[in-house]
Amino acid sequence: MSTKIEAVIFDYGGVFTPSPFLAAHAYAKTQGVAPEKMVSVVFGDYHEDNDHPWHQLERGEVDLTTALTGIGEHADRLGINFDAAELFGAMTDDGIDRTVVIDYVRGLRRQGLLTAILTNNIAEYSHVWRAQLPIGELFDAVIDSCEEKIRKPDPDIYWRALARLGIENPAASIFLDDFAPNVEAARAIGMHGIVVHPDPRPALAQVDELLTS
């Protein structure tokens, strides 16, 4: 007999908004650098949790200025031009309607399911992204890496999200993220994991399948 799903936990960037990695890809093209290389320079080896400046920033250990300085120095050593304003200015609407995700969360709550956001994020952006969603209406908890001082894919942050929702059995939860290694980390502790692609609707359909199975 399958475990009844009690909670659905969402990443923020790449689920409710376009992926920030896309901005790095667009900026890389203007610099004649391979997109994967630019992502590595700016965001580090994102499937790991190490001392890259961006990882430190997401854990709330350094401020944005310090992190960007460290990233710039690393880029210089590799002969890569890094202009933070240009890179993050490349974050644009990709034309995909993600209001369907917000509507879907409302539907989950009408069914009595718990919902949460589990995001790797930075303190300087907190007031911006939280203003883009009706947080209090949509979510029972927000687990933000810069506040928790740990970040995905560290398994502790997934356990912390479950505890915040009062979920003891990971199999009673679903986690959605656009970054596959973060989903794999959730699956490793027993959660159901779903990778979200630019069009979120197939991922939401997978949630429906799990809820009705």
- Which pTM was predicted? 0.94
User: For residues 79 and 63, is the Cβ–Cβ distance under 8 A?
Assistant: no
pLDDT the model gives residue 140: 98
Q: List, in order of start, the domains of the chain with CATH numbers.
A: 7-18+96-212 (3.40.50.1000), 20-89 (no CATH)
Verify cis geometry, omega within 30 degrees of 0, for the bond prior to 153.
yes
pLDDT the model gives residue 1: 59
d(CA 162, CA 156): 10
pLDDT tens digits, residue range 73-122? 999 999 998 898 888 877 777 788 899 999 999 999 999 999 999 999 99
Mean pLDDT of the chain: 94
Position 213 pLDDT exceeds 90: no
pLDDT tens digits, residue range 43-65? 999 999 999 999 999 999 999 99
Residue environment code for 137-172, b if the CB has 16+ CB neighbours within 10 A, otherwise e:
ebbbbbbbbbebebbbbbeebbebbbebbebeebeb
pLDDT the model gives residue 88: 81
Q: Could you tell me the two tokens for 178?
A: 């656009």
Task: Supply φ then ψ for residue 169, to 5 degrees.
Answer: -100, 115
Helix, strand or coil for residue 114? strand
Share of the chain above pLDDT 70, in %: 100
